[in-house]
Amino acid sequence: MVRREVRQEPPDGRPRRDPDPTNASSGYHLRVDSRPPPTPDRRVYPVTTWSHLVSLLERPRPRLLALAGGCVVLALVAAEAALRLFGAYPPPPAPPRVVRWAHLYEAYPPHGYRLVPSRVAAYDYPPAAPRRLVARSNRDGFRGTELGAGPAERRLVVIGDSFVFGEGVAEGERFTDLLAASGIVGAVDNLGLPGFGADLMLRAWETAGGDLRPAAVALCLYTDDFRRVRPFYAGVGFPIPRFALKDGRLVDIPYPNLAGYHRLHGVQLLRHALWTRFGRVEALNGAILDRLLGDVRRREARLGVVFLPGTADTLGDRRRRRWLGNWASRHSVPFLDLTATIHGVSRRHRGARDDVFIAENPHWNPTGHSLAARAMEPFVRRLLGAPPELGRHPGVAP
């Protein structure tokens, strides 16, 4: 029970001065209240004002914070386990190592790696249906004849990745060799190696191509080449030199150390999202192409860009070739998209990829290389300024 003090007003309604609670005539008296004390209101009311919200957030709630932190940790662990279970976004090997055909390559600091120079080596490709192929390297570590051989007039340098290298086909079946045999060009120098991205293509040009004094340079970018400028990409398996953008210009950085938390699949997923969703890949590729264009023009040659599609015309393919075409348009660079040429044959053959691609493989078979060479003929003529009647390519029937 609670003892309460209750005031009783006098009958005439006039207030009394200096009331004395101990005096019954003063209008006050004490009584015992048998009602229980009021229960505190523990109901949660909605936040009505900003100050109310701030006061709620400022209250120490260690249990709630510990619970929230535990939930976050459990969610991250579950996400990492799921990524590992499905093999998604695996980290590259640390340190990088050549997984296949290690006898073909050697480390080469100027552009990461090359074929062992001046050597003839056999290898089987593709793994699903092996074909015995021969890689004949020149003294610069590229596949084919020596760079700079042949007539100097109408010389064409082709830079690229495994498609230019001719992965899966014989040396004479490559589209670069077919262009050389067509009579449109005086000579073709092939600067293609598997695993090259735009950054290593630029380095190969600056190391081996610039002194060839070509009339034109054809840069062939496969749809997967765009991502290969990211820091942890290792080509065929070497700690290759990397580029980074600093204050809008290219700077050289060493291959990063892939240790600690970088080995987590979740970190690789986050890094992939940051590079692809915020334009970092496009910005770095754009700076690389700008540098290549400037150097080619300083050597009084003309640059052309060719987009090589994947096995399907995906949303990523369309976005990349649109970006490349826009870059070429802004810089007045001739641009050729081979998507219609390569995918058109598949559509006419009801999607029979074997008519253009190696079975279960993204690379072109000899028919695909022949189609590419035939589609590139007018493009190369424009680059070299050759007359339309010059040269004739055997090609294949549509």
Pairing of strands 131-136, 187-192: unpaired
Of 202, 387, 176, the residue nearest 303 (C-alpha): 202
Q: What pLDDT is stored for residue 22 in this prediction?
A: 52
Q: Please report how many Cα atoms fall inside a 13 Å half-sphere around the Cα of residue 64, on the Cβ side.
A: 6
pLDDT value at position 398?
A: 33
Point out which residues pair with 125 in neighbouring strands.
131
Which pLDDT value is given to residue 302? 95
Quote the pLDDT of residue 31: 56
Q: Are 334 and 288 in contact (CB under 8 A)?
A: no
- Can you list the residues of the chain whose pLDDT is less than 70? 1-35, 37-61, 63-64, 277-278, 345-354, 386-398
Name the pTM for this structure. Answer: 0.77
Where does the chain hold its CATH 3.40.50.1110 domain(s)? Answer: 102-384
Per CATH, the number for 102-384 is 3.40.50.1110
Q: How far is CA 23 from the centre of its chain?
A: 91
User: Both tokens of residue 373?
Assistant: 């060479």
* pLDDT of the residue at 228: 93
pLDDT value at residue 354 = 54
Distances in whole angstroms, Cα of residue 140 to Cα of each of 114, 152, 191, 248, 293: 8, 18, 9, 32, 23
Contact 218, 246 (CB under 8 A): no
Which pLDDT score, from 0 to 100, does residue 396 have?
Answer: 37
Give pLDDT, residue 50. 63
**Best CA proximity match to 175, nearest among 381, 387, 366:** 366
pLDDT of 212-232, one tens digit each? 999 999 999 999 999 999 888
**pLDDT at position 395:** 40
